[in-house]
Amino acid sequence: MTEMLKKNTRTSITVQLKQGKEIKHNFSLDIDTHLSDPGVVGIFGESGSGKTTFLRSFAGLLKLPSAVISFNDEVWQNDQIFVPTHKRSIGYVFQEDGLLPHLTVQQNLDYAVRRKRKVSMEGLYKKVVSILNIESLLSALPDQLSGGERQRVSIARSLLQQPRILLMDEPLASLDEKRKREILPYLERVSKQFVIPILYVSHSVEEIARLADYVLVFKQGRIVEEGSPNSVFAKENPFIGLSDEVGVVLDGVISAWDEIWELSTVSTDCGDLLIPKAGTVVGTTIRVRILAKDVSLMETPESKSSILNQLSADVLELSRDQNTAMSLVNLRVKSAHLVARISRKSIDQLKIAPGKSLWVQIKAAAVLN
């Protein structure tokens, strides 16, 4: 499976979009981005920030005047050229209603297979069907499926196209929390097992933190922030505007499992963390998210604390929080960064300033996969 796009030449994407307010009332767009080998690109922003316009333009479903779009060595749109959607090698997963309603699941898959540009890979069909677990749905019509099942079929169908890039427009937004939890692992398997660049649009920090290798933050038709998930989500970000969601994402490996207390030891760049039931299989890689509000600071380690994870840290810098009573403290812990959100009064009492060494307590770490 992994060989599917292993010969993955370097990916390079250029998108320039411009749309003045005079064309569409109250909405202007000014995007100029170049991505090179980005892996999974999380496109984050509120509704109306232009992220869907970006994706639809890239797919050719929307033709904005004076746009420039190119993918690898192909120009898809410029002043002279407009490559229609059906000639672009893309997969697209819509937010909902992404299946042809008059065809069964099987016929939907076949519709894609028959029209794809590449010769079929032996066994691809079987593997996609089994990875997305849609074997039992093949004879059903779309309106007989649940929302989550429809999304799984959509994802499977887009993989069978063997596109050179996969676009996903809020694929989980129409689902409730439970269904979301069901689909996320499938998406993760897809991004790991198929070496294919993905543009993933979402307004959920959690989804993006979990899936993305690179993040673009959209606001009012502009890219206002970009970088790795950590660099984007680890600071109080006026563009994200959710101070409760400020935090860091750490990749780690499960190095031990304590059956009695049901605790996993997770080795990360900031040291070993004990996390309840993060996984039982030693060697599994996982991603954890530590929110700033779950990190507290002390001058000395506390031996009589209920909190398991205490690490020594150095203060790098202080930054403001949306809530003026609070402050964000950026810390270095071994080779990683953590962010703590504490009151300004605590900062004064503990005399926290850049360069100071102290201890952090991590109250909770969310395992993202």
Q: Which residues bind other proteins (CB under 8 A)?
A: 59-61, 84-86, 90-92, 94, 97-102, 111-112, 115-117, 157-158, 161
The smaller minimum CB distance to other proteins, of residues 167 and 254, is found at: 167
The smaller minimum CB distance to other proteins, of residues 12 and 85, is found at: 85
Residue 352 CA, chain-centre distance (Å), reads 33
Q: Each residue of 53-78: b (16+ CB within 10 Å) or e?
A: bbbbbbbbbbebeebbbbbeeeebbe
SS3 at position 257: strand
CB of 91 to other proteins, least distance (A): 7
Would the CA dihedral through 125, 129, 132, 138 be positive or negative? positive
The smaller minimum CB distance to other proteins, of residues 154 and 361, is found at: 154
Cα-trace Rg, the chain: 23
The phi, psi pair for 30, rounded to 5°, reads -150, 90
The smaller minimum CB distance to other proteins, of residues 161 and 264, is found at: 161
End-to-end, the C-alpha distance of the chain in Å comes to 21
- Give the Å distances, CA to CA, from 200 to 38, 52, 209, 231: 12, 10, 11, 18
The smaller minimum CB distance to other proteins, of residues 90 and 362, is found at: 90
The smaller minimum CB distance to other proteins, of residues 51 and 157, is found at: 157
Indicate the residue type of 243: S
* Paired tokens of 12: 């390079």
CB of 89 to other proteins, least distance (A): 9
Is residue 287 within 8 Å of residue 266, measured between CB atoms? no
CA atoms lying within 13 Å on the CB side of residue 130: 7
CB of 71 to other proteins, least distance (A): 15
The smaller minimum CB distance to other proteins, of residues 65 and 241, is found at: 65
CB of 2 to other proteins, least distance (A): 24
CB of 107 to other proteins, least distance (A): 10
Helices and strands in the chain: count of H runs, count of E runs: 8, 20
Close Cβ partners of 283 (under 8 Å, ≥ 6 residues apart): 253, 254
The smaller minimum CB distance to other proteins, of residues 153 and 362, is found at: 153
CB of 158 to other proteins, least distance (A): 8
CB of 63 to other proteins, least distance (A): 12
Task: For strands 309-320 and 366-367, give the pairing.
Answer: unpaired
The smaller minimum CB distance to other proteins, of residues 121 and 350, is found at: 121
Determine which helix (DSSP H) or strand (DSSP E) holds 18, and give its type and residue range: strand 12-19
CB of 86 to other proteins, least distance (A): 5
Is residue 189 within 8 Å of residue 4, measured between CB atoms? no
The smaller minimum CB distance to other proteins, of residues 83 and 316, is found at: 83
* Paired tokens of 53: 């316009």
CB of 143 to other proteins, least distance (A): 10
CB of 102 to other proteins, least distance (A): 5
Q: What is the C-alpha to C-alpha distance for residues 156 and 190, in angstroms, rounded to an integer? A: 9
SS3 at position 85: helix
